[in-house]
Structure 1
Amino acid sequence: MKEEVKAEQTTIEEIVANTTIADVYNAAKQLDGVVKKTKLIESPFFSDMCGNNVYLKPENLQNTGSFKLRGAYNKICQLSDEEKKRGVITASAGNHAQGVAFAAKELGAHAVICMPAITPILKVEATRALGAEVVLHGDTFDDAYEKSLELQKKKGYTYIHPFNDKEVLLGQGTTALEIIDELKDVDAILVPIGGGGFASGVALATKAVNPQVKVIGVEPEGAACMENSFNRGQVSSLSAVDTVADGCAVKTPGDLTYAFCKKYLDQIITVSEMEIMSSLLFLIEKHKLIAEGAGVLSLAALNKLSFKGKKVAAIVSGGNIDISTISALIDKALIARGRVFCFSVQLPDKPGQLMNVSRILAEANANVTKLDHNQSKVTDSFKKVALDITVETHNHDHIKKIIKALNDGGYAVDIIY
């Protein structure tokens, strides 16, 4: 058994050692005319915020809405005509599903995508619209993954892994070639990490072209599987993941991607949920661009860089997010930044009290967006009523001023959020 494990490790080491920039350039040739060469967007706002010259690489504007198409297409185009005819399969409820479906359609291959039965219908229909056969199975990704392995064995499909595959990560690495070609004096590239395929390809390509460019991976604090593996010195699994960046909610990195990242990544930065949501809001406000939680990880790490005055490319990896989710994330980000304030005050149950509170809020320049006058909420006194109020605010200092104005007016404030 030990000899088998050692042989597998040697194989991975050989793959890493023998993979060169020529492989990435070959992938770029395969993708020419298929993927968009998303142009860098200089960001004065993010530059001022972090003290570096920041350029966004908007892969959220890529065909299918994310970088995933690059790897899926490069993998499928390597298959023989017989393999394409037999079909490809994967398990995914996100960007990888659409990337595989799009690539398979372009290359004339039958694609089967296994998704959990609870996958939102919009994602299911978007994948079907690209020509893929969708198999809904189980309540979790693991259920769908097991089903995909069962079908692969039964039907002889080729499996298209979302990250732990050499051809997939080479396709993802073409993103770095475009960055360096457009910004030749780039000093650092920030790339999100889920299972590690994107970071592997970007780091490999970057270091092969210019070893002086720093490549920094970014993970959510609630799903930092690569950092965890680095700390343990081997591929390791998290007991659970919890993050709004669901595209990076991976418990275990790939063994191949771990080896590539270990060799080529300069650093890993982890970011909090509030940092992710705040970055999403900034991107929408300042650049009018929509991204998903995982898509803004690089932006969330900008304030944690240890250097200043450098040219930094931050990859916005994807923009496939449904309206209800983005609405919830924006609401949470507004609360975190002190732009929305919800509180409760108790009023004497007599005429004029609501008008008095309204006057105080108006003088404090707080715009009321929601109000709930609830007499039954107060249980310790029949002579008082509860007033729940939501207001738009400027920042946390503004909230403090509102609380002080209410306190000065004789009202105790109970903060709800």
Structure 2
Amino acid sequence: MPQSYIKSILDARVYEVARETPIHEAGLLSKRLDNNICLKREDLQSIFSFKLRGAYCKMSRLGRERLDRGVIAASAGNHAQGVAVAARKLNTKAIIVMPLTTPGIKVDAVRNLGARVVLHGDSYDDAAAHAVKIASDEGQTYVHPFDDRDVIAGQGTIGMEIVRQHPSPLDALFVPVGGGGLLAGVAAYVSYVWPDTRIIGVEPEDAACLQLAMNKGRRDKLPEVGLFADGCAVAQVGKEPFRIIRETVSEVITASTDEMCAAIKDIFEDTRSIAEPAGALALAGLKKYVEREGVQGRDLLAIVSGANTNFDRLRYISERTEIGENREAVISVAVPECPGSFKRFCSALGRRNITEFNYRYADTDMAQVFVGLSVTPGGDDLATLAERLRKRGYTAEDMTHNEVAKLHIRHMVGGHAPLGLRDERVYRVEFPERPGALLRFLSGLGQRWNISMFHYRNHGAAYGRILIGIQVGKTERRALEDVMDHIGYPYSDETGNRAYQLYLGGAA
């Protein structure tokens, strides 16, 4: 039962390395959403993440004999730093196995804390398997990032602080979810002390392993996970966390990339600090909950779990923020190709801020214009605009939630392929952002097929994204996809994507 964790949480020696972080009253958000919204600031820890709580709780209970043999962990960032800090405090050696895709800033941070870094594999699963093997061969203790009772108890001290710091029981508490250790620890304590508080887990919609488990009634593994919120990019919820969560958590909400970006901006405007995507996840879920339920005057709290993000990612985050706030829409509009047509089109838009305008001549009769523009959130402003444009003779298509349009097309608008281009298939591919990865992909394709289009843009993340056009006949498509399956990078066929067809496909 979750109650068995209460004593373990109360006894956790986390404050030998961690601080009791404050609860921040988010005044701007509270006013905008008409609720009393607070943020639990775990981004203010020394390593800018809550992870040192669980790591230290686990390691402080090992005993001197096991500590003398050393510890080992697998992590792409925050857990690694937590283990390194704990090892330094407890005077033990730590090995951290990190994927080859880990950004240099995180590798350097772990090394600077005194741990030995071993780079292995392209994913967390690869690194974890290697760490377990080393632990077995050399006798170190493996410190799991979430599926461990002592780690869960250490994270549960956050729930203990929330109960102590907030003047009355919350109406709802929002907690980010990766493997479930943080949610399990917090829920075990808060559900015991405040049984009427709704505890809500929040996951990335492309890494919703807890929601999958809740729906099936058992743990299962996602075939692949999105990597934007890398701190929560876990394919399967932990066994012990799931046992606790299913007894204590009211529901699970998922949030999109755009919604996380908007939440990062919200946190910045109220605190002047920049959360990482996983750090802003709980707030993104809180906002969806408020919109869905229409609640007012409630006491709501979201845990800001971390602030370890690369500076390069801020460009991408800022691009997606307005869409995540429902303040920007992206539309594709067919405009007559004749003098004065752009002016008439802008007049049809009315007094509305245009955030982006992409166009290139492609046809003597009609032009396709890619437009970003401001809209009013929470209403039917975009639908009203579409109807207004229709009445003036324009055909508008909503591209706001089209990932190919937002990731690639908006940077590539430059006319259709020549009439002579035949048999083009278009794929969106993700590959690990490290030296040689792109070359491996291109080498794997070989010289059997011609590449007819290519777009790549660095977003400062662990994985890069490309949009590639390949000329391949119908009889060869299965062979091409067999080769791509063998290369092993996640991909999807986007030949039928409307944004591609309008702006980059074969000329009409």
In the other structure, the counterpart of 1:130 is: 113
Matched residues in 2 for 1:214 and 1:268: separation? Answer: 11
Show the 5 A alignment for 1:320-335. Answer: 320-335=308-323
1:266 equivalent to 2:254? Answer no
TM-score, normalising length from structure 2?
A: 0.68
1:203 equivalent to 2:187? Answer yes
In the other structure, the counterpart of 1:179 is: 162
2:206 is paired with a residue of what secondary structure? helix
Q: Tell me, yes or no, if the aligned pair for 1:371 and 1:387 is still in contact at 8 Å.
A: no
Q: Tell me, yes or no, if the aligned pair for 1:341 and 1:399 is still in contact at 8 Å.
A: no
1:304 equivalent to 2:304? Answer no
Show the 5 A alignment for 1:145-224. Answer: 145-187=128-170, 188-224=172-208
Return the letter of the residue paired with 1:76.
M
Return the letter of the residue paired with 2:99.
P
Tell which deviates more after alignment, 407-416 or 227-236. 407-416
Matched residues in 2 for 1:178 and 1:357: separation? Answer: 59
| Unaligned ranges ≥5, structure 2 | 401-508
- Aligned equivalent of 2:279, options 292, 295, 310: 295
**Structure ranking higher in helix proportion:** 1
TM-score, normalising length from structure 1?
A: 0.81
In the other structure, the counterpart of 2:95 is: 112
Matched residues in 1 for 2:328 and 2:252: separation? Answer: 31
Q: Tell me, yes or no, if the aligned pair for 1:67 and 1:172 is still in contact at 8 Å.
A: yes
What's the offset of the Cα at 1:225?
Answer: 1.7
Matched residues in 1 for 2:228 and 2:373: separation? Answer: 24
Tell which deviates more after alignment, 243-252 or 300-309. 300-309
In the other structure, the counterpart of 1:230 is: 214
| Unaligned ranges ≥5, structure 1 | 1-15
Shift of the 145–409 alpha-carbon distance from structure 1 to 2, 3 Å rule, reads same
Q: Tell me, yes or no, if the aligned pair for 2:169 and 2:197 is still in contact at 8 Å.
A: yes
Matched residues in 2 for 1:410 and 1:255: separation? Answer: 57
Matched residues in 2 for 1:312 and 1:239: separation? Answer: 33
In the other structure, the counterpart of 2:239 is: 255
Shift of the 81–212 alpha-carbon distance from structure 1 to 2, 3 Å rule, reads same
Matched residues in 1 for 2:250 and 2:101: separation? Answer: 38
- Aligned equivalent of 1:275, options 259, 263, 281: 259
Matched residues in 2 for 1:100 and 1:268: separation? Answer: 28
In the other structure, the counterpart of 1:62 is: 45
Over the matched positions of the two proteins, sequence identity in percent amounts to 35
Return the letter of the residue paired with 2:119.
L
Q: Tell me, yes or no, if the aligned pair for 2:349 and 2:389 is still in contact at 8 Å.
A: no
Q: Tell me, yes or no, if the aligned pair for 2:178 and 2:203 is still in contact at 8 Å.
A: yes
Return the letter of the residue paired with 1:270.
T
Q: Tell me, yes or no, if the aligned pair for 2:258 and 2:323 is still in contact at 8 Å.
A: no
In the other structure, the counterpart of 2:60 is: 77
2:178 is paired with a residue of what secondary structure? coil
Q: Tell me, yes or no, if the aligned pair for 2:3 and 2:192 is still in contact at 8 Å.
A: no
Q: Tell me, yes or no, if the aligned pair for 1:220 and 1:243 is still in contact at 8 Å.
A: no
What's the offset of the Cα at 1:249?
Answer: 1.9
1:366 equivalent to 2:353? Answer yes
Matched residues in 2 for 1:366 and 1:233: separation? Answer: 47
Tell which deviates more after alignment, 258-267 or 405-414. 405-414
Count of equivalent residues: 392
Shift of the 361–122 alpha-carbon distance from structure 1 to 2, 3 Å rule, reads farther
Larger RCO, structure (CA 8 Å, separation 6 or more)? 1
Shift of the 231–399 alpha-carbon distance from structure 1 to 2, 3 Å rule, reads closer
What's the offset of the Cα at 1:205?
Answer: 1.4
| Aligned-CA RMSD value | 3.2
What's the offset of the Cα at 1:215?
Answer: 2.1
In the other structure, the counterpart of 1:9 is: none
Matched residues in 2 for 1:262 and 1:400: separation? Answer: 40
What's the offset of the Cα at 1:411?
Answer: 8.4
Shift of the 158–53 alpha-carbon distance from structure 1 to 2, 3 Å rule, reads same
1:269 is paired with a residue of what secondary structure? strand
Matched residues in 2 for 1:319 and 1:170: separation? Answer: 22
Matched residues in 1 for 2:301 and 2:323: separation? Answer: 29
Matched residues in 2 for 1:189 and 1:388: separation? Answer: 44
